Structure 1
Amino acid sequence: MLKNNFNQFHKQFSENLPRSLERTINLLNEIGNPQNEIKNIIHIAGTNGKGSILSYIKSCLTMNNLKVNAFTSPHLVQINERILINDKIIEDELLNKTIDRLFQYSKNMNIAFFEFITGCALYLFNQNKADWNLFEVGMGGQFDATNTLPQKDLAIIAPISYDHEDFLGDDIIEITKEKMGITNNETYTVVGKQPKNITDFILKNFLYNKEKRFVYGLDWTMTKKKELFYYEDNDASIRINNPFMIGEHQKMNAALSIASLRFLERSNKINFSKNIIEKGISKTKWHGRLEKINCDNNLSELWIDSCHNPSGTKAIACEMKKMNSKKQKKMNLIFSLKKGKKIRDFITPFEGIFDEIKYICINDNHYSFNEIKKNTNGTNINIREVREFDKTLILKNNHPSRILICGSMQLVGKAISIF
């Protein structure tokens, strides 16, 4: 069912519902409220980097011989990727069984797919106990289905910026309030690097208890010494080294992950050695994040990244510019973009970096080429339309090229599937 009929199954759920926890709570009531039995919870909110942070923390926990369950979203290729039981992607049979069980209750409910699959994860994590349970917020925080968890051992606030404005609005303070909705004054909370106005707002309005907060710039930081990056707090300096997670933004994600583990340790919730943390960070992999994949063309380098908002684009544009500092390869961009994203804000950071930019409308949830063209008029960005995405689009290059595919999880997932 999941591999062949996922799109059809997804259509059975409602879309554009009012933001509320009530629907998820109703489903959880029907299945015995498994969320109340899950212990040792880390909950991650923010705009960018949530999945990477979860992956870093998961790697360090497993390196410390601990069992880890994890719930993340969205998926790249198949839905199973969203639910990890004991650090392994859930098998089709178990996921299908769980979906069938919960669908008996949800089929007569007006419920969103994400709310349903969150219910599945909570049910499974209660059935399959782990030492730690990691949850990535889907969107926002306060009204996200994952926020039905009654008690978190740690909340992590990744960098906050603009995304999902059609749901969360375009007031950065209101967006911050929504993200901070996963915490309360009794929640141990780690805050990543933010613009000063956001950090000030968080400290003034949310994190009154100094003993239960660990904030970038106040309690921990990241430094760079001779091209090497280090996490630092008052008691430790830990080198950040990972050959798989490329980009300075990933170093900051790693630093926030280390801060989270250090704060858990300070709170007497876990014990870690510096060596275990360094090893865990160094071995972390997270697919679809500025990842180079084999494309069967010796002349071309193929890179994929799931960036889909302006802050994500800026980070990736910076890295692509560094890669081609010697202008040794032709730079090509292939992207798609879901409706609701700010087209011009997304594409502008790439201006002047790419020799050729192509757009493909991957499905009906994405902008048409005409909408993309209309919203980039008046810029120096020339975009061509591609109607089909397949291997030939990459393999036909007969000159040294560096190709980036980004903008849409579905497009990145398709690239992974093809190659």
Structure 2
Amino acid sequence: MSAPSDAILQRMMALHPKVIDLTLDRMHRLLAQLGHPETRLPPVIHVAGTNGKGSTQAMIRAGLEAAGRKVHAYTSPHLARFHERIRLAGTLISEPDLAALLDECSAANGTDPITFFEITTAAGLLAFARTPADYTLLEVGLGGRLDATNVIARPRLTVITPVSIDHQQYLGETLAEIAGEKAGILKRGVPCIVGPQAPEGLEVIEARAARLGAPLLAYGEHWHVQADRGRLVYQDETGLLDLPLPNLPGPHQIQNAGAALAALRHLGLDERACEAAVTRAEWPARMQHLRHGPLVDAAPHAEMWLDGGHNPAGAQAVAATLAALPRRPTHLVCGMLNTKDVVGYMRPLAGVADTLTAVGIPNEPNTLPAAETRAAAAEAGLAATEADSVLAAVTAIAAGEPQARILICGSLYLAGAILRENG
């Protein structure tokens, strides 16, 4: 049975499509109508970057909560249910609260133009302003400078995770241009944790920070992190931490953990909170091991994974994770949006996967047709076929190779469909 918020969200989507139109004017207007909730939030930690935003935010939240802090968190997109986007003082927003907030924001906006992401972000900020907490974690939706979350005049801290090429149609063709958009979350005098960056990206971030007098705490200069003999070793001016490896799988989670630890140390948290950050974080669809549900039942002897990464840097992280696992025949089931660099995504995976089965993303108008995904995989050097659905692909793979490792990948929208159907 659908919830009242589902009907409201559908109505909002019809009125305010999922278009991307980066400007802050509409957001400022609606927030003024709502009484400026963005000025009444618990201290804000604002997180931007191309890859690793969500994982880094999840680790910061795990650390803060282990230290007894109450934490609001805003993320996007959701996977299975919209409620995942708004976490109030540690708990996903309730259905009655979400429905009431969406109605309130819709009434305040009236017939004025606004995007779906903007009006739902306003709902999140309104919820955060009305619920007591110690911190607010805001994940940027796209870019930074003109993202709907970038309405906080003075956050407590900003974080920029690794920047790479993605969303060029909105953020610019070069890495320097994209880094400039991400650096738009920097605020005068507000410290910023900077994860590992390409030199041309770091140069842009440093230049903007210098103009704003925003102190930088940058990887490789102010803090260092690495895996060493099965442990995570982090070091900054305060000293050294010797911690377990992150519970989120993949070598790339080392650098995400480093940024989270730098943030927590800057906020004055102790080693116990830092350990919880790396061992207790939960972030679905990032190399998530699926252990139950219809897909697992269809391939009971296979090892099933799910990942929502969708750009070349994300694929490199997935490839490194797969390469670090014990060798096993590896088959990809892949569905992607038609806005992505599909061949660029496939290339890093060609070295670690035996085959790829292309699928469409269910109920997603911007899905790339399976035939085009298959053609891109072939261009990237992967042996590729098509299937009508993920279930059909998994069943066919398991029939030919029962002990296979199967990774469903290519899009957070595909991952969300899998989690809804396979939960």
What TM-score comes out, normalization by structure 1 length? 0.92
1:290 is aligned, of 277, 282, 287, to 287
Q: Are the counterparts in 1 of residues 247 and 278 from structure 2 also a CA contact under 8 Å?
A: no
**1:77 aligned partner, one-letter code:** A
1:255 is aligned, of 255, 258, 267, to 258
- Of residues 59-68 and 394-403 in structure 1, the stretch that sits farther from structure 2 once superposed is 394-403
CA deviation after TM superposition for structure 1 residue 242, in Å: 4.6
Q: Are the counterparts in 2 of residues 240 and 255 from structure 1 also a CA contact under 8 Å?
A: no
Where does residue 268 of structure 1 map in the other structure?
Answer: none
- In structure 1, C-alpha distance between the alignment counterparts of 2:119 and 2:352, rounded to whole Å: 41
Where does residue 384 of structure 1 map in the other structure?
Answer: 385
**1:306 aligned partner, one-letter code:** G
Q: Are the counterparts in 2 of residues 59 and 283 from structure 1 also a CA contact under 8 Å?
A: yes
- Of residues 17-26 and 147-156 in structure 1, the stretch that sits farther from structure 2 once superposed is 17-26
Distance verdict in 2 for CA 1:379–1:253, change over 3 Å: closer
Where does residue 322 of structure 2 map in the other structure?
Answer: 320
CA deviation after TM superposition for structure 1 residue 369, in Å: 2.5
Identity %: 28
2:175 is aligned, of 163, 172, 193, to 172
Where does residue 394 of structure 1 map in the other structure?
Answer: 394
Q: In the alignment, is residue 408 of structure 1 matched against residue 411 of structure 2?
A: yes
**2:319 aligned partner, one-letter code:** A
Distance verdict in 2 for CA 1:97–1:22, change over 3 Å: same
CA deviation after TM superposition for structure 1 residue 334, in Å: 0.7
Any residues of structure 2 matched to 1:8-407 within 5 Å, and which? 9-16=12-19, 18-207=21-210, 212-242=215-245, 244-265=247-268, 272-294=269-291, 295-296=296-297, 297-325=299-327, 329-362=328-361, 363-376=364-377, 378-390=379-391, 393-395=393-395, 397-398=398-399, 399-407=402-410
What TM-score comes out, normalization by structure 2 length? 0.91
Distance verdict in 2 for CA 1:246–1:63, change over 3 Å: same
Match of 1:353, SS state, is: coil
Q: Are the counterparts in 2 of residues 68 and 132 from structure 1 also a CA contact under 8 Å?
A: yes
- In structure 1, C-alpha distance between the alignment counterparts of 2:134 and 2:8, rounded to whole Å: 34
CA deviation after TM superposition for structure 1 residue 207, in Å: 3.4
Structure 1 gaps of 5+ residues are 266-271
- In structure 2, C-alpha distance between the alignment counterparts of 1:242 and 1:226, rounded to whole Å: 10
Q: Are the counterparts in 1 of residues 38 and 125 from structure 2 also a CA contact under 8 Å?
A: yes
Distance verdict in 2 for CA 1:277–1:322, change over 3 Å: closer
Match of 2:227, SS state, is: strand
Distance verdict in 2 for CA 1:223–1:324, change over 3 Å: closer
CA deviation after TM superposition for structure 1 residue 395, in Å: 4.7
- In structure 1, C-alpha distance between the alignment counterparts of 2:12 and 2:214, rounded to whole Å: 46
- In structure 2, C-alpha distance between the alignment counterparts of 1:141 and 1:209, rounded to whole Å: 16
Distance verdict in 2 for CA 1:402–1:8, change over 3 Å: farther
- In structure 2, C-alpha distance between the alignment counterparts of 1:83 and 1:207, rounded to whole Å: 33
CA deviation after TM superposition for structure 1 residue 111, in Å: 0.9
- In structure 2, C-alpha distance between the alignment counterparts of 1:24 and 1:378, rounded to whole Å: 42
Match of 1:149, SS state, is: coil
Show CA shifts across 1:330-362 (max 9, x none). Answer: 211011111211111011111132222111111
Q: Are the counterparts in 1 of residues 12 and 116 from structure 2 also a CA contact under 8 Å?
A: no
Q: Are the counterparts in 1 of residues 48 and 182 from structure 2 also a CA contact under 8 Å?
A: yes
Distance verdict in 2 for CA 1:93–1:145, change over 3 Å: same
CA deviation after TM superposition for structure 1 residue 115, in Å: 0.5
Q: Are the counterparts in 1 of residues 153 and 187 from structure 2 also a CA contact under 8 Å?
A: no
Match of 1:201, SS state, is: helix
- In structure 1, C-alpha distance between the alignment counterparts of 2:129 and 2:39, rounded to whole Å: 9
Paired residues in the alignment total 409
- In structure 1, C-alpha distance between the alignment counterparts of 2:166 and 2:37, rounded to whole Å: 31
Show CA shifts across 1:93-121 (max 9, x none). Answer: 11011111111123412111110111001
Distance verdict in 2 for CA 1:65–1:121, change over 3 Å: same
Show CA shifts across 1:249-278 (max 9, x none). Answer: 11111111000111222xxxxxx2212221
- In structure 2, C-alpha distance between the alignment counterparts of 1:379 and 1:131, rounded to whole Å: 47
Match of 1:303, SS state, is: strand
Distance verdict in 2 for CA 1:118–1:189, change over 3 Å: same
Distance verdict in 2 for CA 1:293–1:149, change over 3 Å: same
Q: Are the counterparts in 1 of residues 227 and 245 from structure 2 also a CA contact under 8 Å?
A: no
Match of 2:142, SS state, is: coil
Match of 2:128, SS state, is: helix
- In structure 2, C-alpha distance between the alignment counterparts of 1:9 and 1:237, rounded to whole Å: 49
**2:332 aligned partner, one-letter code:** L
Match of 2:61, SS state, is: helix
